[in-house]
């Protein structure tokens, strides 16, 4: 084996350009596959992270009628009200609806000392809102039933907003237990939530009963959030939504077939669509990556074909002095394995390093018009994928050299010696 390695090393040194081109084709194919998959995973992880609400939840929104009905003109706006909330809790929907939270919102300026935040949406919600929305509490707690019953002036602030109110130089949790003013009214901060990376601006949460009464909302509410069960396909989801829409339309004197007047954001349907989109994107990334890998394989194959053709005369001399076909075949195979393994390993390391670089430089949020969103998160691929891709290229490179080497090993010495 030592003699074979020495001979291969001598050959590679003599053919530096050929060796460099072969190595580059191998390393580039592996590098591009790993870097491309890593970048794609970073984008997809950020997309999924921004949509981290419950899959089994819906949001009902106020709407505009699209048809004239009962003496009312079309394009009439109507607010949802408390009756629409109670309808969701009726027995006929009990096999579908689980937890319900109305939400009323009020824009206000939040002040703490000399610091302030303008245009903040203070949402009055029920305690179950946290579970329905998948809201993560980093410090303290969320609104509870006692707050709801007693209309306590308590508020939950996002991590980013808490830091701003503290001047930007203090930890968010240090705002816990302190009073902030909401439009001049003191609220005690009882919780710090994870900052919303979507394009929703500043948001804070207080008891629904308090905000509803404090700002004289009457029967009107903004939106209804609820979780559901026993829905496992789009047909069942659509049937339930249409039944509830007709109930809401009847409450507001709208045409019973004016289903477009109410928009229900269905996270179950959105999740199916998102999963389909993610699946398509992942498949596209793999196809692009595999095409890149194939280009590397083609490059290796072409160079190995040229290598064997160039050495046909040499093989004839070897056979003339007694070399067996297997010894010639083994020489080519070992050379192919060594080249693809060495440069494949380099390509793999470079690809993993590129993923680490993307993680360090791109992982985070982007701010547009004062609002932020996660755009890149945890780029990279599993080490098993990197190793499998490298092994695939090694095997392909070996096979690429095996076929012409086998033909060359079978050529008669006299024919091989005549080759130019």
Q: What pLDDT, in 10s, does the model give residues 133-160?
A: 888 899 999 999 999 999 999 999 999 8
First to last CA, the chain: 29
Element (H, E) at 116: strand 115-125
Same-domain check for residues 200 and 332: no
One domain, residues 293 and 387: yes
* Same domain? 277 vs 408: yes
For residues 174 and 369, which has the higher predicted lDDT (pLDDT)?
Answer: 174
**Domain identity same for 171 and 294:** no
CB-count burial class (<10 Å; 0-12, 13-18, 19+) for 389: buried
Kind of pairing, strands 57-61 and 263-266? antiparallel
Task: Using pLDDT thresholds of 50, 70 and 90, give the confidence band for residue 370.
Answer: very low
Query: Among 217, 232, 256, where does a domain finish?
Result: 217
Residue 140 inside a domain? The answer is yes
- Are 108 and 48 found together in one domain? no
Is there a contact between 156 and 127 (Cβ–Cβ < 8 Å)? no
> Does 246 reside within a domain?
no
User: Measured between alpha carbons, how far is 166 from 222 in angstroms, rounded to an integer?
Assistant: 30
Q: 25-39, 73-87, 119-133, 167-181: which range is least confident on average?
A: 25-39
Q: Where are the alpha helices (DSSP H) in 72-170?
A: 82-88, 129-133, 145-150, 159-165
Both 276 and 369 in one domain: the answer is: yes
pLDDT at 368: 42
Q: Is residue 252 part of a domain?
A: no
Task: Give helix then strand counts, H and E, for the chain.
Answer: 13, 16
Residue that is last in its domain, among 182, 198, 217: 217
Total domains, the chain: 2
Q: Is residue 135 part of a domain?
A: yes
Asked if residue 239 belongs to a domain, the reply is: no
In a domain, 193, yes or no: yes
* Maximum average pLDDT range among 142-146, 330-334, 402-406: 142-146
Same domain, 213 and 277: no
Would you tell me how many other CB atoms lie within 10 Å of the CB of residue 363? 16
Tokens of 73: 């003109």
The residue among 217, 238, 256 that closes a domain is 217
Same domain? For 112 and 34 the reply is no
Q: Is residue 277 located within the same domain as residue 158?
A: no
What radius of gyration do the chain's Cα atoms show?
Answer: 33
> How many other C-beta atoms are found inside a 10 Å radius of the C-beta of residue 215?
15
Do 112 and 195 lie in one domain? The reply is yes
375 occurs within a structural domain = yes
Task: Write the DSSP string, 147-196.
Answer: HHHHT--EEEEEHHHHHHHTTTSS-GGGGTT-EEEETTEEEEEEEEEPPP
156 with 134: CB under 8 angstroms? no
pLDDT band at 333 (very low <50, low <70, confident <90, very high): confident
The pLDDT of residue 369 is 40
Range of the domain at 191: 104-122+131-217
The strand pair at 185-193 and 154-158 is best described as parallel
Asked if residue 229 belongs to a domain, the reply is no
């Amino acid at each position: 084996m030592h003699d074979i390695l020495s001979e291969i090393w001598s050959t590679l040194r003599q053919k530096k350009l050929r060796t460099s081109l072969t190595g580059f084709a191998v390393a580039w194919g592996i590098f591009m596959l790993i870097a491309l998959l890593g970048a794609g995973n970073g984008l997809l992880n950020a997309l999924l992270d921004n949509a981290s609400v419950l899959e089994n939840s819906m949001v009902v929104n106020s709407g505009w009628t699209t048809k004239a009905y009962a003496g009312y003109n079309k394009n009439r706006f109507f607010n949802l009200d408390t009756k629409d909330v109670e309808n969701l809790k009726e027995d006929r929907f009990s096999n579908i609806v689980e937890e319900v939270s109305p939400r009323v919102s009020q824009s206000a300026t939040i002040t703490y000392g000399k610091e302030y935040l303008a245009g903040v949406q203070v949402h009055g919600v029920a305690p179950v809102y946290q579970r329905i929305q998948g809201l993560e509490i980093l410090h303290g707690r969320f609104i509870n039933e006692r707050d709801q019953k007693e209309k306590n002036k308590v508020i939950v602030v996002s991590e980013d907003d808490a830091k701003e109110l503290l001047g930007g130089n203090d930890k968010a949790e240090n705002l816990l237990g302190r009073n902030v003013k909401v439009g001049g009214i003191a609220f005690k901060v009882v919780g710090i939530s994870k900052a919303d990376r979507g394009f929703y601006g500043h948001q804070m949460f207080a008891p629904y009963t308090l905000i509803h009464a404090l700002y004289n909302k009457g029967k009107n509410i903004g939106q209804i959030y609820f979780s559901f069960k026993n829905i496992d396909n789009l047909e069942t989801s659509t049937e339930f939504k249409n039944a509830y829409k007709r109930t809401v339309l009847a409450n507001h004197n709208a045409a019973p077939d004016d289903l477009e007047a109410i928009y229900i954001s269905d996270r179950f349907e959105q999740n199916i669509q998102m999963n389909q989109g993610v699946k398509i994107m992942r498949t596209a990334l793999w196809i692009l990556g595999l095409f890149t890998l194939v280009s590397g394989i083609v490059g290796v194959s072409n160079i190995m074909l040229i290598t064997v053709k160039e050495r046909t005369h040499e093989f004839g001399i070897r056979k003339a002095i007694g070399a067996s076909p297997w010894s010639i075949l083994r020489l080519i195979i070992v050379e192919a394995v060594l080249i693809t393994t060495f440069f494949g390993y380099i390509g793999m390391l470079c690809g993993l390093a590129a993923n680490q670089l993307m993680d360090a430089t791109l992982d985070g949020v982007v701010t547009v018009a004062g609002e932020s969103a996660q755009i890149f998160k945890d780029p990279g691929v599993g080490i098993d994928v990197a190793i499998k891709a490298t092994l695939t290229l090694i095997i392909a490179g070996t096979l690429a050299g095996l076929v012409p080497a086998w033909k060359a090993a079978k050529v008669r010495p006299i024919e091989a010696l005549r080759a130019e």
